[in-house]
């Protein structure tokens, strides 16, 4: 099932999700290093990564919703997509809470801000797996004619076009 929201032939949601996942995950890693080293600068860096990750997550969600709305009802893909979306909303809310708790002193966040971020990062792993299940197992966001010798998405030709492929010798 091809994505509805595409840029240069590729699903926008799949392009965008790497940013919030990476930013939010690194924010937790920076928080752990800050706890070990006491570096206030890492606390501030973590704060800004959370800000960017939450904003990026909201942007990715718009395109995820567009793709989810195209999945036929009463399918496993719709069910998995719903669990993926609900999980991601909870992740974004957890990190938004962490962000809010850090506002007063980004360099030295309270323990609850760290706990919310860790829980959010853990849940993001489960929801990312559900997203992988949608793409890799259920084919959501995959070009209908995808194959190992498909032409470039920039060629203007459909993926199932095999006109320039030489026959294989056996």
Give pLDDT, residue 25: 97
Instruction: Identify whether 158 is part of a domain.
Output: no
Instruction: Identify whether 47 is part of a domain.
Output: yes
Give pLDDT, residue 165: 64
Q: Cα–Cα distance between 21 and 107 in angstroms, integer?
A: 22
CB 46 within 8 A of CB 40: no
Instruction: Identify whether 160 is part of a domain.
Output: no
Tell the residue number behind the tokens 């719709």, with chain if given.
78
CB 70 within 8 A of CB 4: yes
- Per-position DSSP letters for the chain, written without gaps between them: ---SSEETTEEHHHHHTHHHHHHHHHHHHHHHHHHHH--HHHHHHHHHHHHHHHHHHHHHHHHHHHHHHTSPTTSHHHHHHHHHHHHHHHHHHHHHHHHHHHTT-TTS--HHHHHHHHHHHHHHHHHHHHHHIIIIIT-TTS-TT--TTPPPGGGSS-TT--TTPPPPP-
Displacement of CA 105 from its chain's centroid (Å):
28
Give pLDDT, residue 170: 63
Instruction: Identify whether 155 is part of a domain.
Output: no
Count the domains in the chain: 1
Longest dimension (CA), the chain: 69
Q: Cα–Cα distance between 73 and 78 in angstroms, integer?
A: 6
Instruction: Identify whether 17 is part of a domain.
Output: yes
**Domain carrying residue 36:** 6-143
Q: What is the pLDDT along the chain (170 residues), one digit of tens a residue?
A: 767 777 787 778 888 899 999 999 999 999 999 999 999 999 999 999 999 999 999 999 999 999 898 889 999 999 999 999 999 999 999 999 999 999 999 999 999 999 999 999 999 999 999 998 988 888 887 777 777 777 777 887 777 777 766 666 66
Give pLDDT, residue 168: 64
pTM: 0.85
Give pLDDT, residue 164: 67
Instruction: Identify whether 162 is part of a domain.
Output: no
Considering only CA atoms, give the Rg of the chain: 20
């Amino acid at each position: 099932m091809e994505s509805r929201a595409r840029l240069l032939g590729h699903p926008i949601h799949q392009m965008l999700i790497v940013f919030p996942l990476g930013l939010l995950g690194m924010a937790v890693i920076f928080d752990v290093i800050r706890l070990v080293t006491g570096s206030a600068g890492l606390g501030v860096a973590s704060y800004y990564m959370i800000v960017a990750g939450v904003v990026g997550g909201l942007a990715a969600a718009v395109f995820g919703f567009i793709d989810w709305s195209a999945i036929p009802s009463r399918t496993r893909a719709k069910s998995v997509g719903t669990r993926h979306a609900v999980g991601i909303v909870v992740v974004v809310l957890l990190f938004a809470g962490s962000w809010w708790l850090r506002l007063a002193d980004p360099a030295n966040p309270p323990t609850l801000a760290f706990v919310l971020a860790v829980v959010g990062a853990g849940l993001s792993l489960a929801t990312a797996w559900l997203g992988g299940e949608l793409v890799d197992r259920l084919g959501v966001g995959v070009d209908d004619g995808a194959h190992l010798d498909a032409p470039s998405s920039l060629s203007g030709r459909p993926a199932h076009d095999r006109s320039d492929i030489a026959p294989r010798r056996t």
